[in-house]
Amino acid sequence: MSGIKKTVCIILCLLMVAVIGFDAARFDVSAEVITIYRVDGENVRLRSAPTTSDSNNILTEITNSEVTYISEEKNDIDELWYKVEYTDATGKKYTGYIRSDFVKIERYTTDESFEATLKLFPESYREALTKLHAQYPNWKFIAHQVDLDFDEAVALENQDNIKQVDGSYLSYRTMGYGSYDWGTEKYIASNGAWYGASREMIMYYMDPRNFLDETGVMMFLQQGYDSKTQTLAGVRTIIKGTFLENGYTENSVKGDYAKDILEAAKQSKVSPYVLASMIIQEQGVKGTSDLISGNYKGYKGYYNFFNVKASGTTTAQVVKNGLEYAKSQKWNSRRAAIIGGAKFYANGYISAGQDTFYYKNFNVHNPDKLWHQYAQAVHDSYSSAKISAPIYTANASATLTFKIPVYEGMPKANCKKPEASKKQNNYYFLDIDAGSGLAPSFNKFTYKYTLDILGNTNIGVTLPKGAKYSGKTEFSVKKGKNNVKLVVTSETGYKNTYVIQVASTGAYKVTVEVNGSFEEEIQTKLGDINGDNKISVGDLAAVQMHLLSVKKISKDKKVLADINKDDKISVGDLAAIQMHLLGVKLIGG
């Protein structure tokens, strides 16, 4: 049985044997009881020992997430703790303890009839879908085949800043065309503080398997209106705690957002829960955007709740374009704007087959119209799903239909979310020098080339600082066509491969020379902080004064003082220089 997956109780005769495990490799969909351990709360601390008395034993914090049960024990004050395994969004695994009162135990029964549905999905989808089916037996799952390889779909979305992230972490951003100025070494911002999303961030949010839980699966919910199950009370539940809850006053008349949204659903045939979620996602919980204030200069009395046509490179452009469209559509009241926006969404997206949050933002089944995507934020589908999920999961007997993408060539394992850091996705060459025969001419964003050779050949590659060459440095080529793969690894650890198709007249050697490698340059100068081409007492004094805050080492010299490469200047670096000067342990030796 797999050591990673842990949850299956097999009913055998009248004896129920509880086995905490779930073996996808030996997948069996006979009638089963599934036990799920779920952390119930926000920022619940996972600890290395079953006690709260030690403030240093906190491993991480968990919010409303499933964990894998390992065992249980009581501590010396008779508290019950569960030992569990937890995997965060980046794929990092933790094993530790959570006090039992923070864990909700759920047991569900599956059925054999679900097996036909499961067979339509790849193996890697099935465990999660079985758990969902056990919890919500009336939910229906459609395996929607996408006529694209997964990598091809990601590549389409990873161009021209189609998908963006906020500016929090460099590891989330792309350094691709139009997103990074390689001359000034600065990222190019869009609309204030948004930047092109990295390939790896796009992969994470596009991989359907990452969101097959009761919250994330709402990304795939089909969004039609059903008067029997979608009610005014349900709308009020979704908008509770937001600016929509208490309504508004317009022309001295009290308005009700919940009723406006329900009416918009009836006229547009779009779920009111989806409409409410979209408004909250677009306008925020407080609803302070100029697009819905009704007081923006030149557009007083006009509203655009769904940000229709609200695009631009600055906030002012976004607001003006959105309100210009609202004015052209005569959205001169909140109710008119909500109903009109819902109809626009229905006509522009639902009727075009973009009838889920996922397809609304990743128009991959119509790749010629990638521009027809509702939001640039790469996380928008999940954010919208998260808002709407509580109203749907509150009724376990409801009948819902989910259209879940299945790509060709899916990776075996789920695509993990990149770790948040200041490291860059600089997996590009600054140059590939193979003489005049390289075709086309080198461009860091072009990954396929051809080269004709008549004998042994050298190819020089130049790396950006922080990146590493991680491919072969010598290739034996035969007469005819040969693929030479040049691999560069970024600071974040991700790789990019450039392929040169070498047409050779015989059996020769192709040698790769790494030129301008920042890593190699730093290694030869490590410890030489004052730039006199040797490690001396002056360099030792520079580190001492930095640590004492007498004189700080300049930003461009910090990398030379960071001997142990822990991204900071510390006593350890001072000791390394001392040992070098004493001849005990040479730096770079």
Helix (H) or strand (E) segment spanning residue 124 = helix 123-135
Residue 304's pLDDT is 97
**What pLDDT score does 96 carry?**
95
Pairing of strands 32-39, 103-109: antiparallel
Given this model, what pLDDT does residue 524 score? Answer: 54
Tokens of 82: 């569960």
pLDDT at 523: 55
Give the pLDDT of the chain (589 residues) as one tens digit per residue: 334 333 333 222 322 333 233 333 333 444 567 888 989 888 999 999 999 988 889 999 999 888 999 999 999 899 999 999 999 888 899 999 999 999 998 887 777 788 899 999 999 999 899 999 988 988 999 999 999 999 999 999 998 888 999 878 999 999 999 899 998 999 998 877 899 999 999 999 999 999 999 999 999 999 889 888 889 998 998 899 999 999 999 989 999 999 999 999 999 999 999 899 889 989 999 999 999 999 999 999 999 999 999 988 788 999 999 999 999 999 999 999 999 999 998 988 888 889 999 999 999 988 888 888 888 899 999 999 998 898 888 878 778 899 999 999 999 999 999 999 999 999 999 999 998 889 999 999 999 999 999 999 999 999 999 999 999 999 999 999 999 999 999 999 999 999 999 999 999 999 999 974 444 445 557 888 887 878 999 989 999 989 988 888 887 678 788 888 777 899 988 998 888 988 878 887 6
The DSSP H or E segment spanning 74 is strand 66-74
Given this model, what pLDDT does residue 31 score? Answer: 56
Half-sphere exposure of 407 (CA within 13 A, CB side): 20
| pLDDT value of residue 589 | 61
Cα→Cα distances 258→274, 298, 567, Å:
12, 28, 52
Would you say 429 and 512 are in contact if contact means Cβ atoms under 8 Å apart?
no
